[in-house]
Amino acid sequence: MTLKEQLIKEIETTPISLLPEILHFVKSLKTKHPDIDFMEFAGIAADAENIMQEIVQEAEANRQLDSLRMNDL
């Protein structure tokens, strides 16, 4: 069960009288923290390194092919 699903389950089992307080709390948390999810950003940053390695490998492979083609001329 994901964290979001756990929160929803807790909200669903919370007495109605507490829901306004929970809503206020969630809204105040959202205003205190930026919209950018750090873990999502970290995932994107981690992917960038892999993407850069792929670009470098492809460029090196193309350079080698160009070099072989030039030798064949």
pLDDT tens-digit series, residues 13-50:
999 999 999 999 988 888 887 666 665 666 666 666 67
Give the span between the Cα atoms of 49 and 58, in whole angstroms. 14
Average confidence (pLDDT) over 45-62: 76
pLDDT of residue 37: 62
Within 10 angstroms of residue 67's Cβ, the number of other Cβ atoms is 10
pTM value > 0.85: no
Give the span between the Cα atoms of 33 and 28, in whole angstroms. 9
Range of lowest pLDDT (2-6, 20-24, 35-39, 65-69): 35-39
